[in-house]
Amino acid sequence: MKIGYARVSTLDQNLSLQIDALKDAGCELIYQEKISGKVKERPELVEMFSKLRKGDIVVVWKLDRLGRSLKDLIHLVSKMQELEVSFLSIQDAINTDTATGRFTFNIFASLAEFEREIISERTKAGLIAARARGRMGGRPPGFTKDTISKIKAVKVLYDKNDKAMVEIAKDLSISRASAYRFLEIAKQWDIEKLKS
């Protein structure tokens, strides 16, 4: 069975073009969604996956209608392959039922893996360089976003040099010992790059 998936990003956009193309491609069932691709939860997509059966073909008008990113797209198509479901993108001429379509998709997967490895290598190199300069990168292990915010606040208030540590601790509702500990952490870690 051919099952279509159509999506537009905003409520005022129209699905008609995609739906017509999906019907022309022979889709018997079409799931429609008016939601940004950046939104993680897409109810119609989840519903479609729950109904997929071995031998079905998922059809989209264009690749970007299905996935938010290359990584997301590869994840979704891999899930289809696990279910023994084929995938067809009309505009991109990708059909995983054909050798060429599978080859094209494997190239995408390889590029995504290559990109992840490059990002990982750059991150490791950056951390090594930061440590060589006596700084730590990333988020200190085991700290919550709230704690990171307080670490930053302690450093900022301490650097202003207009309050004693007792006052800083009181303002942030932490103990004086925690305030001193947070200040030491702020000195070791690259405080500007901490993600709170």
pLDDT, tens digit, for every residue of 121-148? Answer: 777 777 677 666 666 555 555 667 788 8
In a domain, 41, yes or no: yes
**Is pLDDT of 182 > 70?**
yes
In a domain, 140, yes or no: no
In a domain, 125, yes or no: no
Q: What is the pLDDT of residue 44?
A: 92
- Dihedrals phi, psi of 147, to nearest 5 degrees: -65, -40
Tell me which of 5 and 36 has the higher pLDDT. Answer: 5
Shared domain for 10 and 102, answered yes or no, is yes
Q: What is the pLDDT of residue 136?
A: 55
Q: Locate 129 and state its tokens.
A: 């360089």
Band the pLDDT of 196: cuts 50, 70, 90.
Answer: very low
CA atoms within 13 A on the CB side of 106: 7
Shared domain for 92 and 152, answered yes or no, is no
Band the pLDDT of 191: cuts 50, 70, 90.
Answer: low
Shared domain for 18 and 95, answered yes or no, is yes
- Its pTM stands at 0.56
Query: Domain boundary at 55, 88, 110, which?
Result: 110
Query: Domain boundary at 64, 91, 110, which?
Result: 110
Q: Are 21 and 90 in contact (CB under 8 A)?
A: yes
The neighbour count for residue 29, using CB atoms within 10 Å, is: 13
Q: Are 85 and 56 in contact (CB under 8 A)?
A: yes
In a domain, 19, yes or no: yes
CA atoms within 13 A on the CB side of 56: 23
Q: 10-49 pLDDT, tens per residue?
A: 766 789 999 999 999 999 999 999 887 666 788 999 999 9
**Is pLDDT of 117 > 60?**
yes
Q: Are 154 and 183 in contact (CB under 8 A)?
A: yes
CATH for 98 = 3.40.50.1390
Q: What is the pLDDT of residue 188?
A: 73
Active site residue 120: no
**Is pLDDT of 7 > 80?**
yes
152: domain range?
145-193
Phi/psi region, residue 35 (left: phi>0; alpha: psi -120 to 50; beta: rest), is: beta
Band the pLDDT of 162: cuts 50, 70, 90.
Answer: confident
Shared domain for 158 and 106, answered yes or no, is no
Which residue in the list 9, 149, 178, 196 is annotated as catalytic? 9
Query: Domain boundary at 110, 136, 155, which?
Result: 110
Q: 56-109 pLDDT, tens per residue?
A: 999 999 988 888 777 788 888 888 988 999 999 999 888 888 888 788 777 877
Shared domain for 8 and 79, answered yes or no, is yes
CA atoms within 13 A on the CB side of 71: 6
Q: How many domains does the chain contain in total?
A: 2
In a domain, 152, yes or no: yes
